[in-house]
Structure 1
Amino acid sequence: MPSIARPLRSVLYIPGSKPRALDKARGLPADAIIFDLEDAVTPDEKTAARATLADALTQGGYGARMKIIRINGLDTEWGIDDAKAAAAMGADAILLPKVNSPADLDALAQYTGDLPLWAMMETPLGMLNAAAIAAHPKLQGMVMGTNDLAKDLQTRFRTDRLPLMAGLGLCVLAGKAHGVALIDGVYNAFKDNDGLKIECDQGRDMGFDGKTLIHPAQLDVANAAFSPSPEEVDLAQRQIAAFNEAEAAGQGVAVVDGKIVENLHVATARETLAKLEAIKALSAE
């Protein structure tokens, strides 16, 4: 499947109940914002948060940033009203927590119509059903809920995230198979930029498109990690040029830096350059 063209390097959670945070988000260099009505909002604020968020989105000012609303689960007392309200707020997608099967997305679509849906992948059952969830016709993105998954798996924290790899890998395979955006889970130590970079690099190497973030201080690290590096751009340009030269000479392969370059390498190189151009276009808006 083709890679996701829209940059989603940094996906920042913003509480839907906090007017100051909602205003500040208008000037932050996030590729996407998850306006949160779930975990970031206390039970006594949840009803009022809908009106607060609706007002902020009506005012606009979020530019080219993708606008995603995370509602409460449909099995909670707020979920259905969240879904109905969110459907009218002009968001780009609605994010449903704890998606266990495609039936959960079917249930949400009753209230959100043709709006694109995103799924929080944060339960063992969701991991096992990742392929079926990713194949849902309205699904456009999967967000890893690594904190909840770790809780359910009863794991201990490890910097290599080894206990989570099976679940994350299933979601990556499912997302790539069905052309769905893949966003890695949060890094909790928001003042630890070195640790964040390690986890961002790991997620990028696994195939994630970006990372969910809990603090604006994490934005620069994530944006850099999920952008093509100058070295990657240089290599991509040289691979394309060498392959074009080889083709013109009637050859099917080229050699760059002592390594064979074939069609598949050129396709990856072109994707790298296209991603860079998409990031430049987003930054200019």
Structure 2
Amino acid sequence: MKAVRSVLFVPGHKADWILKALASQADAIIIDLEDSVPEASKADARINAREAIQANNTDKTVLVRPNALDTQHFGKDIESVAVSGLTALLLPKLFSRDDMIRFDALVTAAEILNGVERGSIELVPTLETAASVNKVDELLDAPRVGGVMAAAAKDADISREVGFSWTEEGFETLYLRSKVVVAARSAGIQCILLGLWQDVHNLDGMRRFAQANSGLGYSGQVLIHPSHAEIANEEYGLSEKQADYYRRLIAAFEAGVAVGNGAVSFEGDHIDLAHANNARDLLIQSGQSLESN
């Protein structure tokens, strides 16, 4: 799964909201069948999700969050939405790699039933339990994993599980967030998401939150309001100004190599092969060209 900067949550029982989410500035959407959908609306949410996936004619990445394994809904959820056009399932309330294996088997059966290429739908574990954070390496070693989402929201499942008191500065979740990034990079995963900023109207706070987590290595953020997409798109990935800087860095290094130097001075910094490789990786991960315009 490619890295995305902004991923907008939308309740599955709100069909008109799904259409608005697909028209938003977000790189991707998550159609939720779980916590944001009332019990009486679960069936409607499944129908809406399936129809939206099949009718989607945008370039957005589409994920669905099914209900957890301890509910009566997860089987029907996966059977309904595992259709062509679905990129991945965002998996809730995981405790071990065994849970990932259970979901993998269900998705395989649904792909066969719905005539979808076997193995094409990826899994994105949500780390919202203490056990899942503790066993993140095992979860990311499971089949189909295409990304990961770390949960660090105020007063949500993760805060209850771990017992931390949320602050905007985030010191209480720094270890958790850092551990997930290292595990994801070690597993070769590029789509590393964080969720989420809950104060809809505090856009300055949202920007600080995004800047801090982009700096930690997250590729993007899960959002609950369309107004946050523009900020996330600006703070995650590379701006054109940053991309130009890295292109020029690569060019300076390559010019040095051409005359027999293994390291050069670039805009006051000492750079060598490691810096050039890092610049290339950042440009590729953000979908930017390596060549100057």
TM-score w.r.t. the length of structure 1 is 0.91
Which residue identity is paired with 1:13?
A: F
- 1:132 partner amino acid: E
Q: Aligned-residue CA RMSD in angstroms? A: 1.7
| 1:24 pairs with one of 14, 20, 27 | 20
Matched position secondary structure for 2:71: coil
The answer to whether residue 125 in structure 2 is matched with residue 116 in structure 1 is no
Residue 114 of structure 2 corresponds to none
Separation in 1 of the partners of 2:162 and 2:52?
A: 37
Q: 2:278 & 2:218 partners in 1: Cα distance?
A: 15
Structure 2 equivalent of residue 143 of structure 1: 149
1:95 to 90, 97, 101: 90
In the alignment, what sits opposite 1:74?
Answer: 69
Shift in Å, 1:220? 0.4
Closer, same or farther in 2 for the Cα pair 1:276/1:145, shift >3 Å? closer
Is the aligned partner of 1:234 residue 2:229?
A: no
| 2: CA distance, partners of 1:127 / 1:276 | 26
Q: How many matched pairs?
A: 274
Matches within 5 A, 1:146-185: 146=152, 147-180=156-189, 181-185=191-195
Structure 1 position 266, deviation (Å): 0.5
SS in 1 for 2:146: strand
Task: Identify the match of residue 268 of structure 2 among 258, 276, 285.
Answer: 258
Letter in 2 for 1:101: S
Q: How far, CA to CA, are the matches of 1:250 and 1:187 in structure 2? A: 49
Alpha-carbon distance between aligned partners in 2 of 1:58 and 1:238, rounded to the nearest angstrom: 42
The residue number in structure 2 matching 1:54 is: 50
Letter in 1 for 2:210: C
- Alpha-carbon distance between aligned partners in 2 of 1:275 and 1:87, rounded to the nearest angstrom: 27
Deviation readout 1:241-270 (Å, 9 max, x if unpaired):
211111111010011122111111101222
Letter in 2 for 1:118: V
Gaps of 5+ in 1: 280-285
Q: Is the 8 A contact 1:150 1:164 kept in 2?
A: no
For residue 183 of structure 1, report the CA deviation from its aligned partner.
0.2
Alpha-carbon distance between aligned partners in 2 of 1:272 and 1:278, rounded to the nearest angstrom: 8
Matched-pair contact (CA < 8 Å) for 1:246–1:254: yes
- The aligned amino acid for 1:120 is T
Matched, 1:222 2:232: yes
- Pair 1:84 & 2:79 matched: yes
> What code does the residue aligned with 2:164 have?
T
Q: Secondary structure at the match of 1:238?
A: helix
Letter in 2 for 1:77: Q
Indicate conservation of the 8 Å contact 1:228/1:275, yes or no: no
Give the deviation of 1:117 after TM superposition.
0.9
TM-score (norm 2): 0.89
Q: Note closer, same or farther for the CA distance 1:130–1:24 as it changes in structure 2 (3 Å cut).
A: same
